[in-house]
Amino acid sequence: MKLKGAQVIIEVLKEMGVDTIFGIPGGAVIPIYDALYDSDIRHILATHEQMAAHMADGYARVTGRVGVCFATSGPGSTNLVTGIANAYMDSVPVVAITGQVPTNLIGKDAFQEVDITGITMPITKHNFIVKSPDKLTDTIRQAFAIAKSGRPGPVLVDIPKDIQNADIEYVKGIGDSIDIKNDINGVVSQKELDKAIELILQSKKPVIFAGGGVIWGEASNELVEFAEKTNIPVATSLMGLGAFPEDHPLSLGLIGMHGSRFANLAVYKSDLVIAIGTRFSDRVAGKAGGLAPNAKIIHIDIDPAELGKNVEVDVAIIGKVKEVLRLLMNKLSFIERKEWLEEISFLREKHGLKYKNDEVLRPQWIVEKIQQLSNDDLIIATEVGQNQMWAAQYYKFKQPRTFVTSGGLGTMGFGLPAAIGAQVGKPDKRVVNIAGDGSLRMNIHALETAAVYNIPVITVLLNNRTLGMVRQWQNLLYNKRFSQTDLNANLNFANLANDFGVEGIRVTTKEEFEKAFKKAYSQKRPFMIECIINKDEMVLPFIPAGGTVENTIG
């Protein structure tokens, strides 16, 4: 049947199972929004395009599906850039659809024209500009297939306004009808598997280092089974939190710059590191060769480009994590590692996470209390900074897709809109955004969207009236020269939330927090709890950039 290009866009989105779009209309996408008017696809109106991209990102992380955002041409599309880069760094499948000036005006500096495909080329898995009506349908289908295939990532489709208005012959397709050449050849190397098995059998002190690829590869169950069969302790990266239950006896928890000293020591003392779905970020690897100086390294990843990129490896296995773990388990019997597990237990007892739990309202206590009061049934989102690290350290994640945070890009302002997207994606769960005042103010207008759509995200603001992580570095590494880190101490975020239509309460004591959180959790509407904390509270332990566990502070 003949449809306008804009109608085709909506029809293909329906083919792909899209139920929600996040965005803002503008001149170059009015035809798409006109077609959306007659659709049953839900649209969440953002107050800034960056926010729309983060909402799509949060939606994708908790559902495992592709998040979708719309923006107009020019500044609309460039406002998406940070959100797209964030999704790219964390391997999140997002399809961004942008409007563009008519094809006959491209390259002529038309009103609100920018080369968004050129701008986003380094931060998308692939991008397209549709210059012919007969390419539109399959281009959008292909965008979804690329976003989901292999290592996930964002894809941008730029659609000129005349293509949106063109008459197009549309033939309904079936979701996932486009085949994309896999990032891998589909055959796991038996030679590398055999080498890995040999190292596992020889090892006396092995550890598993699990990253976000375990979650995106839907391999959490296999990871638990593999760890239990081989009796190998499991550490995680920031993006891997939730891949392995942190209440499991074999869990080491977070490693890296703000991981526990005990977990970092366990990896440091190991003789074998089995890295699964992780890229050995500098926030984990630290000094070259310093993470596990005496260990052999097995690296399993779906993306060949990551193998050996940041850390030299002894065995490189390219493949889907789920499949590789099953192949390894088929060749291994139960292994008892009594001495190593006893040493791990000793390290845990001596060097586990600790904080001063007194009458003062402290962020570590707040994070633990959130988990306790919610019966351990939350999705946690964070902003970026100290709030993020306290959440990663003290909330014990037990299920995949329950932690939404900006890892690779470290995007301040990510948390609140991502939490909104996550809540839309998982309406049966409750989402709590653990925030810092420096980060929250960057997209605080997302409160308006939460209020308008009654999206019941709870924001727990750890307000120390400073750019806390920068201040911490200035305190520890720059002789307490606190340059440009103090923020407006008179700003009352609880009152600001109320102005946006979200109930806000300011608390200063443990008793006040507990009462406020119980109230927020009992109500099915957005809520903010502003917690006043000490500006010199630090995230400890801390390994300075480029250091090793031997350089740990705190």
Q: Which of 111, 172, 354, 480 is catalytic?
A: 111
Q: Which of 4, 125, 161, 269 is catalytic?
A: 161
Closest CA to 249 of 233, 273, 261: 233
Distance CA 397, CA 158 (A): 38
Distance CA 43, CA 27 (A): 17
Distance CA 447, CA 527 (A): 9
Cβ-count burial 58-95 (b if 16+ within 10 Å, e if not): bbbbbbebbbbbbbbbbebbbbbbbbbbbbbbbbbbbb
Distance CA 526, CA 503 (A): 7
Q: Is 2 a catalytic residue?
A: no
In sequence order, what are the residues at sequence separation of 6 or more whose Cβ sits closer than 8 angstroms to the Cβ of residue 459? 416, 419, 432, 433, 435, 440, 447, 497, 502, 526, 527, 528, 529
The CA angle 274-406-539, to the nearest 5 degrees, is: 80
Cβ-count burial 526-548 (b if 16+ within 10 Å, e if not): bbbbbbbbebebbbbbbbeeeeb
Q: Which two structure tokens, joined as six digits, stand for 257?
A: 């710059």
Distance CA 225, CA 227 (A): 6
Q: Which two structure tokens, joined as six digits, stand for 122?
A: 């380094």
DSSP state of 103: G
Q: Are strands 458-463 and 206-210 parallel, antiparallel or unpaired?
A: unpaired
- Please say whether the beta carbons of 432 and 460 come within 8 A: yes
Q: Which two structure tokens, joined as six digits, stand for 421?
A: 């997207």
Q: Is 469 a catalytic residue?
A: yes
Q: Is 128 a catalytic residue?
A: no
Cβ-count burial 322-360 (b if 16+ within 10 Å, e if not): bbbbebbeeeeeeeebeebeeebeebbeebebebeeeee
Q: Is the preceding peptide bond at 541 cis, omega within 30 degrees of 0?
A: yes
Q: Is 15 a catalytic residue?
A: no
Q: Is 161 a catalytic residue?
A: yes
In sequence order, what are the residues at sequence separation of 6 or more whose Cβ sits closer than 8 angstroms to the Cβ of residue 358? none
Q: Which of 11, 49, 113, 530 is catalytic?
A: 49
Q: Which of 51, 89, 257, 469 is catalytic?
A: 469
Q: Which two structure tokens, joined as six digits, stand for 541?
A: 């332990």
DSSP 460-525: EEEE-SB-HHHHHHHHHHSTT---S-B--TT--HHHHHHHHT-EEEEE-SHHHHHHHHHHHHHSSS
Distance CA 362, CA 354 (A): 12
- Please say whether the beta carbons of 208 and 223 come within 8 A: yes
Active site residues: 49, 111-112, 161, 469
